[in-house]
Chains A and B, each alone.
Chain A
Amino acid sequence: MNICELEKIKQQFIKEINFRKLGDTSGVEYKYDVMVCGGTGCRSCKSKKVQDALEETVKAKGLENLVKVHGVGCFGLCVNGPIVLIYPNDALYEKVAVEDVEEIVSSLAEDKLVERLLHHEDGKAIEKKDEMSFCKKQRYIARNNSEFMCLENILEDYIALDGYRALHKVVSEMKPEEVVKVISDSGLRGRGGAGFPTGKKWEFTRVVEAEQKYVICNADEGDPGAFMDRSIIESNPHAIIEAMAICGYAIGANKGFVYLRAEYPLAGERLQKAIDDATARGLLGEKIFGTDFSFELEIKYGAGAFVCGEETALMRSIEGNRGEPTLKPPYPATKGLYGCPTVINNVETLANVAQIINNGAEWYNQIGTPDSKGTKVFALTGKINNSGLIELPMGTTIREIIYEIGGGIPNGKKFKAVQMGGPSGGCIPEQHLDTPIDYKSLSELGSMMGSGGMIVVDEDTCMVDLAKFFLQFTRDESCGKCTPCRIGNKRILEILTKITDGEATMDDLDELEKLCHYVKDNSLCGLGQTSPNPVLSTLRYFRDEYIEHIKDHKCRAGVCKKLSKYVITDKCIGCSACSRQCPVGAISGEIRSKFNIDQEKCIKCGKCCETCRFGAIVKE
């Protein structure tokens, strides 16, 4: 591969890209591109079947020369999947079913759109996707361009969008230290959790003299509730490959590993294909772009251990050991994989690299806030209308995210908090909604940027129960190497369980807080050092809920089962409507006499309460 060949591929595919991206119809013979989302989310809603049906229908109607059907990467709005994009209109169809295909194709034949499939806001159909409130504030860097690339020829489309230009520029025009300087000057910080300046990390590794160095991409994405890394790999794998090669050049490594979590088979498939394609084209392998730089890439699969996202544990896992963290220092920069200097970066961090090289540090530096540059991808989920992936400039406020982009809380419920940073992070309550998102502001609130999971909870979520959920998670995932984490988290969980069972005293609450600080201060790795955060942060903002559980034996959200029950009052007329709705068959009785709920069986779902037209069922 050389620059001329790169240019040739670009010229071959640019017309279609311009057609989709700019609506420029001049270079293409056909009239429409129909792109069906092929991300894990949409695939699980049968998007593959939709795509197959579209292809068949287009063929059956003899429209192959007018309408092209492709697969495309994740658009982010997974909750409304399967998503179909129509270019050059730039329209977005949601919840498309196989039954809609006929209408979609015949309307295109008449140059019309199917209005009912468009996204609606306030009863109005939105014709262009960028005008949806979900999209308006977004700014794509890490997820750049993925909506324009066809999955079938993703390498060529990536090249048409100036892919691998940065790698070419770096290996043929720049010295390693210059590359590191650009990354440093851009202000890019790690997106995997800790927010460490990426340029600094590269520089530490670059200056170490060693025969062998490595680049690792951390794609373990352990934070439950975050899925941006999966989406980036599925939708734009070449951005990661290119960035890893650039990093390899900058630090002097000729080998890279992507550590991918085993739960992401589709991402693995796509990444492997991308690696093979890039290797076949000479973009990976020996003497890249005819220079002396060589770089190869290999995928290593995890096997379901959260702690393996921690960098030292991850390296032990690649080496074929139990993924137990080791003490730092030594840092990976000096002694990493197989004892060699290693840079380990998160997927999203890497996804920014090629564009920083192409557009310059200045360009990147202007986006975001003084302490946090660029954009961040968030996975907005939980009790929110538009759940999905969003990418925003740093400094956007949480309120904008929840109410403008996320479209607020469903079913008219009241916002309670948003949990950020997963099991290591904390919650942010209503009174801090106007906080701008940057590393510093979030940590001052006792939360953190983390990997970008944002889980919204409403009045129906019990904060003690939520803290308990996270501690269950860390108890299960603690590797057991050090005692504070292994035993401490277990004890914390026991106290939390006592509280949610209504058996705790106020002394337990003091004990809980002490224990949290003890575990934080004495654990060996980041897992134990942060695992008490969800407890501490809910205590900070929702202490009254803890106290209610302890003193009044009350769970205001009605979640803690031991503290609440549904009972049928004398208003019951014995219609049996509730018993037919009960999912577990807990309600019995004779017609026209009062029914009864078997408290042992009842799972407190509240269905009966909603069903009863006589208001005879109450929650106590």
Chain B
Amino acid sequence: MCECVRLGTENQVAEFEAVLEQNKGNGENVMEVLQKTQGIFGYIPELTVAKIANALQIAESKVYGIITFYSQFSLTPKAKYNLDICLGTACFVMGAQEVLDKILAKLGVRVGEMTKDGKWIVTSCRCLGCCGLAPAITINGEVYGKVKVEDVDKIIDSFED
């Protein structure tokens, strides 16, 4: 019981257990299992790694190896608002770096660091596929296109409740 408390809500744990059950002994499904785990908890809690390895019957080191290889997987919890800025070529050429500088200055963090109030994490990615709208950012998955340095205050402030 105490483990569940640390892992997440009961529902989350039940959902997670169900995913493990479905993929028992199926080592090749590890990517999908990790994707689902991240979908459930918002990140991949350390505690799940051994469970996944056990259920899929693969080495724990292999699970870690996969988590750290693919940039999408995260071992740290998400913030309330996750801002992902595209640093793909089109966005870069259209000034994404300046937008990023401004965002970081405004929130007072570095890339990948959570703000002290736990509200924001800024990450960068390479191409969201909205290059026609460069520079593009997403906040909790919603796309904002043609972002200018001047827009940053307004966009971020609109999330401050």
Q: A residues within 8 Å of B by Cβ? A: 40-41, 43-45, 77-79, 81, 221-227, 230, 262-265, 300-306, 317, 319-323, 379, 381-383, 387-389, 419, 422-423, 453, 455-457, 461, 466, 469-470, 473, 476-477, 479, 583-584, 603, 605, 607
A304-B133 in contact (CB<8A): no
State in angstroms the CA–CA spacing of A262 and B134 once bound together.
19
Asked whether B129 lies within 8 Å of A40 as measured between CB atoms, the reply is yes
**In the bound complex, do residue A603 and residue B102 qualify as a contact, i.e. CB atoms below 8 Å apart?**
yes
Interface centre among A40, A381, A607 (most CB of B within 10 A): A381
A303 in contact with B73 (CB, 8 Å): yes
Contact string, B124-161, partner A, CB cutoff 8 A, digits 1/0?
Answer: 01111111111010000111110001101000000000
Residues of B within 8 A of A227 (CB): 127, 129-132
Q: How far is the CA of A613 from the CA of B5 in the complex (A)?
A: 62
Q: Does B1 contact A (CB under 8 A)?
A: no
Set of chain A residues within 8 Å of B20, measured between Cβ atoms:
none
Query: Are the C-beta atoms of A263 and B129 separated by less than 8 Å?
Result: yes
Cβ contact of A44, chosen from B105, B127, B136, cutoff 8 A? B136
Q: Is the CB of A382 within 8 A of B132?
A: no
Residue of A with least CB distance to B91: A224
- Chain B residues with CB under 8 Å of A305's CB are 69-71
Report whether B93 and A583 are in contact in the complex, using a CB–CB cutoff of 8 Å.
Answer: no
Of A43, A322, A387, A423, which contacts B66 at CB under 8 A? A322
Contact status of A225 and B88, CB under 8 A, knowing A263-B125, A306-B126, A473-B126: yes
Residues from chain B with Cβ under 8 Å of A466 in the complex: 93
| Interface positions of B from 1 to 57, Cβ below 8 Å from A | 27-32, 34-35
B89 in contact with A45 (CB, 8 Å): no
CA A45 – CA B34 in complex, angstroms?
Answer: 31
Given contacts A44-B144, A323-B69, contact A224 B132 (CB under 8 A): no
| Residue B101 at the chain A interface, CB threshold 8 Å | yes
What CA separation (Å) do A302 and B32 show in the bound complex?
A: 9
Contact residues in B for A77 (Cβ distance below 8 Å): 132
- Residue of A at shortest CB range from B131? A381
Residues in A neighbouring B35, C-beta threshold 8 A: 262, 301, 303
- Residue with the highest number of chain A CB atoms closer than 10 Å, among B72, B86, B130, B144: B130
- Can you sample 8 A-B contacts with CB below 8 Å? A227-B129, A265-B141, A323-B70, A455-B89, A457-B93, A583-B102, A584-B102, A605-B98
- Check if A388 sits within 8 Å of B132, measured CB to CB: yes
Tell me the bound Cα distance from A2 to B94 in angstroms: 51
Rounded to whole angstroms, the CA-CA distance of A477 and B90 in the bound complex is 18
Q: How far is the CA of A319 from the CA of B58 in the complex (A)?
A: 13
A41 contacts across to B, CB distance below 8 A: 130, 132-133, 145
Interchain CB contact under 8 A, B90 and A321 = no
Known: A45-B145, A263-B127. A469 touches B31 (CB 8 A): no
Q: Kindly provide the distance from the CB of B63 to the nearest chain A CB, expressed in whole angstroms.
A: 10
CB nearest to B68 among chain A residues: A322
**Least CB separation from B95: chain A residue:** A605
Q: Is the CB of A461 within 8 A of B93?
A: yes
Q: A301-B35, A381-B132, A456-B93 are in contact. List 19 more A-B contacts (CB 8 A).
A: A41-B133, A41-B145, A44-B136, A45-B133, A78-B132, A79-B133, A81-B132, A224-B86, A224-B88, A225-B131, A227-B127, A265-B141, A304-B71, A305-B69, A305-B71, A419-B89, A473-B126, A477-B126, A583-B149
Kindly report which residue of chain A lies nearest to residue B73, judged by CB atoms.
A303
Residues of A within 8 A of B132 (CB): 41, 77-79, 81, 227, 379, 381, 387-389
Which residues of chain A are near B86, meaning CB under 8 Å? 224
Q: A225-B89, A225-B127 are in contact. Are A583 and B133 (CB under 8 A)?
A: no
Query: Please, which residue of chain A has its CB at the minimum distance from the CB of B33?
Result: A320
Chain B 83-124: CB-based contact to A (< 8 A → 1; otherwise 0): 000111111111000100110010000000000000000000
Which chain B positions have C-beta within 8 A of A302? 70, 72
Chain A residues whose CB sits within 8 angstroms of the CB of B129 once the complex forms? 40, 221, 227, 230, 263-264
B91 CB contacts on chain A under 8 angstroms: 224
- What's the Cα separation between A78 and B141 when bound, in Å? 19
